[in-house]
């Protein structure tokens, strides 16, 4: 059985979790402390310490770069989900770059404003230290002060997706491809704290999001 190793709030873990749910395959989740990557380090033979990671029997799958989709492609190939059709190869690579930088750049900051509500107390000091080493001392307080600015940025950056979804059910065609799951993961991270809703003006994204919550691979006509 496939095992997903994750932090529950990580947008990139949410992407893989939703793909697994979509597939209908049996899988299990192992949540690890955000400050203890030793399990991933051990499973990958000291080649990787991030999340998500997948353990499928004796096979361990992890990303090899910040802009790869090794895990999703592995799941797609194993389960024949049609997430990476050749005709959309170039388009998807451009779009996931935008989603994982411009969209995620807003969503993780907005979610992190409420970090004390979802990071367990014993992990809070390392979590804060990690953020401040990467983004500067007081970064989370700054994002809290700039909350309305980041909400506006997110709303504006979602406009192209709203336009696309006004003409079709999913982002590329009539069934979800990888970038649908990628955008879904970023938005679920944004919604994770329970303090936000999707922007009211983006009515088509709200409809798409509702479809993405429930759709299964078995629902797609062949």
Q: Would you give per-residue pLDDT tens digits along the chain (222 residues)?
A: 999 999 999 999 999 999 999 999 999 999 999 989 999 999 999 999 999 999 999 999 999 888 899 999 999 999 999 999 999 999 999 999 999 999 999 999 999 999 999 999 999 999 999 999 999 999 999 999 999 999 999 999 999 999 999 999 999 999 999 999 999 999 999 999 999 999 999 999 999 999 999 999 999 987
Q: Given this model, what pLDDT does residue 9 score?
A: 96
3-state secondary structure of 103: helix
Q: Given this model, what pLDDT does residue 221 score?
A: 83
Pairing outcome for strands 2-6 and 27-31: parallel
Level-2 CATH architecture, domain 86-219: Up-down Bundle (1.20)
How many CA within 13 A on the CB side of residue 100?
A: 21
pTM, two decimal places? 0.97
Q: Given this model, what pLDDT does residue 16 score?
A: 98
Query: CA-to-CA distance for 157 and 52, rounded, in angstroms?
Result: 25
How many CA within 13 A on the CB side of residue 48?
A: 16
Q: How many whole angstroms from its chain centre is CA 202?
A: 20
Q: Given this model, what pLDDT does residue 67 score?
A: 82
Domain-wise residue ranges, the chain? 2-79, 86-219
Residue 23: both structure tokens together: 């597939």
Level-2 CATH architecture, domain 2-79: 3-Layer(aba) Sandwich (3.40)
């Amino acid at each position: 059985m496939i095992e997903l190793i994750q932090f529950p709030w990580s947008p990139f873990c949410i992407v893989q979790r939703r793909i697994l749910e979509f597939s209908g395959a049996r899988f299990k989740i192992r949540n690890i402390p955000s400050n203890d990557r030793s399990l991933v380090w051990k499973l990958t033979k000291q080649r990787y310490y991030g999340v998500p990671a997948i353990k499928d029997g004796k096979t361990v799958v992890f990303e090899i770069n910040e802009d790869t989709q090794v895990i999703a492609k592995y799941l797609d190939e194993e389960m024949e989900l049609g997430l990476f059709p050749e005709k959309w190869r170039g388009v998807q690579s451009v779009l996931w770059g935008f989603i994982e930088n411009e969209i995620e750049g807003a969503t993780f900051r907005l979610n992190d404003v409420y970090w004390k509500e979802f990071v367990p107390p014993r992990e809070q000091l390392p979590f804060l230290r990690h953020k401040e080493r990467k983004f500067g001392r007081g970064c989370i307080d700054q994002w809290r002060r700039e909350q309305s600015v980041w909400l506006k940025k997110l709303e504006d950056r979602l406009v192209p997706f709203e336009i696309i979804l006004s003409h079709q059910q999913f982002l590329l065609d009539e069934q979800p491809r990888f970038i649908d799951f990628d955008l879904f993961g970023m938005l679920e991270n944004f919604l994770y704290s329970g303090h936000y809703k999707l922007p009211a003006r983006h009515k088509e994204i709200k409809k798409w999001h509702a479809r993405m919550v429930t759709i299964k691979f078995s629902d797609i006509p062949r």
